[in-house]
Amino acid sequence: MTYRMTFRGAEIPAEPGQSVGAALVAAGILDWRTTRKEGRPRGLFCGIGVCYDCLITVDGARAERACLIPAADGMRLGDALDTGDALETGDGPDTGDAPGDDDRDGAAQHAEEDGDDAAHP
């Protein structure tokens, strides 16, 4: 059985046992968020949950690591800082500070703030 997820209005297929990040990459989507400082694209990097480059919103839950979340049928995926309203309308936030950024755990917030200087050149 192939699962169907939605990302930015497009249907994304996923196989059972596949992570959200793996399904996005298999569908040709290599980035799904940008850094706040310089707007650089980010997506799957380490693939094991260490680097936080793959943050994504899953069914309204912000800043989830796409490489660790198992794909499931009917998932709604959005940019890392999308709210539930943004997922519904397809309107995402700009790359500036979003309301509630301070609510994220320290590691996720650090990765987002320092993403421009981190693992990617």
CATH code assigned at 95: 3.10.20.440
Mean pLDDT in residue range 26-44: 96
Query: How remote is the C-alpha of 7 from its chain's centroid?
Result: 10
pLDDT for 80: 74
Q: What is the pLDDT of residues 69-119, one digit of tens each?
A: 999 999 999 987 665 444 443 443 333 333 333 444 444 544 545 454 444
Q: Are strands 76-78 and 55-58 parallel, antiparallel or unpaired?
A: antiparallel
Query: pTM of this prediction?
Result: 0.70
Please count the residues of the chain: 121
Within-domain flag for 119: no
pLDDT of 3 strictly over 60: yes
Within-domain flag for 70: yes
Helix count and strand count (H, E) for the chain: 3, 7
Range of the domain at 14: 3-114
34 pairs with which residues across the strands?
Answer: 41
CB 28 within 8 A of CB 98: no
Within-domain flag for 39: yes
When divided into structural domains, the chain yields a total of 1
Percent of the chain past pLDDT 90, that is, above it, reads 64
Within-domain flag for 80: yes
